[in-house]
Amino acid sequence: MATAVLGGDLTRRMNADYADPDLSRSAIILNELITSIGDNLSDFNDAMAALAQGDLHRGMRDKHRGAFGQLQKNCNLALATVRTVLGEQGSGRFTEKATKFRRMLAGVRSKGVAFEIRASDDESRPIPSPPHDLWLKLVDALDGFSA
């Protein structure tokens, strides 16, 4: 399986210098595909990182096609919807709350708390964990938040 071989590392490329021209062409196409996937995911990751920082304006910037075009459309539409629902003041408050939450996470991480979610035996109820507890704190922090 390619996933096991690449292990999520989309910077690796296949040698495309083969005596068989069909094999070389296949390697080139595979390398182009991996590059395309990496570029598309990078743009999405940048948009999500900006959102995690409280930036509701970043969105996906590159022009994507196919399945990634649909992802871009939905990502940017979701951000526009959130901005519209929150309005100008609400967007500012969202940024403030995101900054506060990021600082809270940094404080927990600096204390050496590992962030790991484990599957429960029955997989039907929330698992008490530092991320779950932080989620509850975020919910409390956002309680009463309105545009």
The DSSP code sequence of 35-66 is: HHHHHHHHHHHHHHHHHHTT-SS----S---H
Side chain identity, residue 101? F
Domain count, the chain: 1
Query: Domain span at residue 115?
Result: 2-142
pTM over 0.95: no
d(CA 47, CA 58): 6
Is residue 138 in some structural domain? yes
d(CA 36, CA 114): 33
> Using the 8-state DSSP alphabet, how is residue 7 labeled?
T
Is residue 147 in some structural domain? no
Is residue 22 in some structural domain? yes
- Asked whether 95 and 54 are in contact (CB, 8 A), the reply is yes
Which of the residue ranges 39-43, 69-73, 88-92, 122-126 would you say has the lowest mean pLDDT?
122-126
pLDDT at site 117: 42
Is residue 66 in some structural domain? yes
